[in-house]
Structure 1
Amino acid sequence: MPMLNEKVAIVSGASSGLGRAIALRYAAEGAAVVLADITEMPVEGGEPTLSLIRAGGGKGFFVKTDISLWAEVDRLVVDTVTEFGRLDILVNNAAIYTSTNLLETTAQQWERVIAVNVTGFFHCCKRAVQQFLTQEPVLETRGRIINISSQHGMVACPGDFPYGVSKGAIVQMTRQIAVDHAHSGIVCNAIAPGKIITGKPGVANDPDALDYSRRRTPWPRLGEPRDVADAAVFLASDMASYITGVNLMVDGGWMAG
């Protein structure tokens, strides 16, 4: 039996990177997956996520969504429930960064990162919980939220002030939602990836940065999107019913060192 058989999931930032890997894995595990992103084409290249899901016999659709805007998040959830009848899983993954320290960060950069990485997660969590509360529990659980945080929500992110601050906020947001809504059968956890090679262009694949990450990670390889997707499947499944408020490190032992 697939681990997410007949579940309905929303994945934000699902066109590329970690969100793409999670969405594809969810579909392979039997979930109907609603893909939320500002563009349908993956930044690392290749076929759109929805095309791959449908080619594999999966169900889902794409909704162009800027999660920083409440009206677009509201439409996303309404469209999901209209199509599939309920919402079981929300994965908050969409995020942006600036690669700037405190003095380099402009007010506009700060406001945009916080608008997506914090306010956007707030919008998605609030709207999902509103929907969960209208649903009858299934095996004690009305719905599950998985927030993608970062190891840089636990330790400083050198040279990326707004991103690191935003991810620290997500760790606390996860705990707060878990505690406040456990009595309603709502589960909320986070996944904190370490260095994951996604194929995205830019500073994340700088050779010096990769060399540092390899030396800093105890496990003899860097992470791959499938490592985060595996954790996201587990936390979305019925095997994780008594786990809530956790920030699960998927980092090859980085934070243990």
Structure 2
Amino acid sequence: MSLLEGKVAVVTGASSGLGRAIAVRYAQEGARVVLADLRDEPIEGGETTQVVIETFGGTAMSVATDVSSWEQVDRLIVGAVERFGRLDVMVNNAATYTSTNLVQTSESQWDQVLRVNLTGMFHGCKRAVQQMLGQEPVDEVRGRIVNISSQHGMVASPGDFPYGVTKGGTVQLTRQVAVDHAPDLIVCNAVAPGKIITGKPGAANDPRALEYSHQRTPWPRLGRPEDVAGAALFLASPLASFVTGINLMVDGGWMAG
């Protein structure tokens, strides 16, 4: 049987990049996936995530969601439960960035990154836990939360001050939720990608930055969204039955070097 057969998963930031890869992988493993994003069109181009999933016979629904709004996150979870009956997996992936250091970052940029990356994570975790607390456990678990952090939650993100700060906060938020809600049979973990090649525009794909990432990564290639999706699948599945509060590095050995 597929690892997520019959499970219900919500993935934020699901239209592109890591969120898209996670949503597709979950659907391939039998999950009914709720796709939350501000936009449907993938940055990389091509069909929407929902169309991709439905083309291979998977089940998905899309809900336009700004994770910085509690009302919209609440509506997202209510809609998912009304459609599919429960919430088994919540993936908090939606994020933004500015590519600015401390003195370059305006107050409005700071506020925007924190609202999406950290307050949005808080909204997703809180609303998911509220739902999961009222559910009967399945295989000793009421629900699982997977937060997407970053290696830049562990080491500084050069030239992207607000992003790095929020990813550090994500790591601690994950630990806090895991410890506080372990007695409730709610699992919470994070996945920390290293350098992953996506369609994200800007400095992330600057040739000099890519060359530096190749030099720092022991593995002979940089990461793909599917690498992160595999880790997110593990943490969402019964294979991770005694794993909670971790920040799982998916970085080709960068942090080990």
- What's the TM-score once normalised by structure 2's chain length? 0.99
Residue equivalent to 1:178: 178
Alpha-carbon distance in 2 for matches of 1:12, 1:103: 30
Alpha-carbon distance in 2 for matches of 1:221, 1:42: 24
Residue equivalent to 2:13: 13
Q: Deviation of residue 201 (structure 1)?
A: 2.6
1:50-97 C-alpha deviation (Å, 9 max, x unpaired): 000001101110000000000000000000000000000000000000
Alpha-carbon distance in 1 for matches of 2:115, 2:255: 28
Q: What stretches of structure 1 move > 3 A for 4+ residues in a row?
A: none
Amino acid at match of 2:249: M
Alpha-carbon distance in 2 for matches of 1:85, 1:199: 34
Residue equivalent to 1:160: 160
Q: Deviation of residue 215 (structure 1)?
A: 0.4
Residue equivalent to 2:62: 62
Q: Deviation of residue 247 (structure 1)?
A: 0.2
1:137-185 C-alpha deviation (Å, 9 max, x unpaired): 0011000000000000000000000000000000000000000000000
Return 5+ residue gaps in structure 1 as ranges: none
Residue equivalent to 2:214: 214
Amino acid at match of 2:98: T
Equivalent residue of 2:166, what SS?
Answer: helix
CA contact (8 A) 1:44 1:201 kept: no
Q: Residues 70-149 of structure 1 correspond to what in structure 2 (within 5 A)?
A: 70-149=70-149
Identity across aligned pairs (percent)?
69
- What's the TM-score once normalised by structure 1's chain length? 0.99
Alpha-carbon distance in 2 for matches of 1:199, 1:96: 14
Alpha-carbon distance in 2 for matches of 1:32, 1:170: 26
Q: Deviation of residue 202 (structure 1)?
A: 2.0
Q: Deviation of residue 187 (structure 1)?
A: 0.1
Q: Deviation of residue 102 (structure 1)?
A: 0.3
Alpha-carbon distance in 1 for matches of 2:10, 2:153: 23
Alpha-carbon distance in 1 for matches of 2:244, 2:158: 29
Q: Residues 44-63 of structure 1 correspond to what in structure 2 (within 5 A)?
A: 44-63=44-63
1:92-144 C-alpha deviation (Å, 9 max, x unpaired): 00000000000000000000000000000000100000000010000110000
Alpha-carbon distance in 2 for matches of 1:114, 1:177: 18
1:202-230 C-alpha deviation (Å, 9 max, x unpaired): 21110000000000000010000110000
Amino acid at match of 1:126: K
Equivalent residue of 2:129, what SS?
Answer: helix
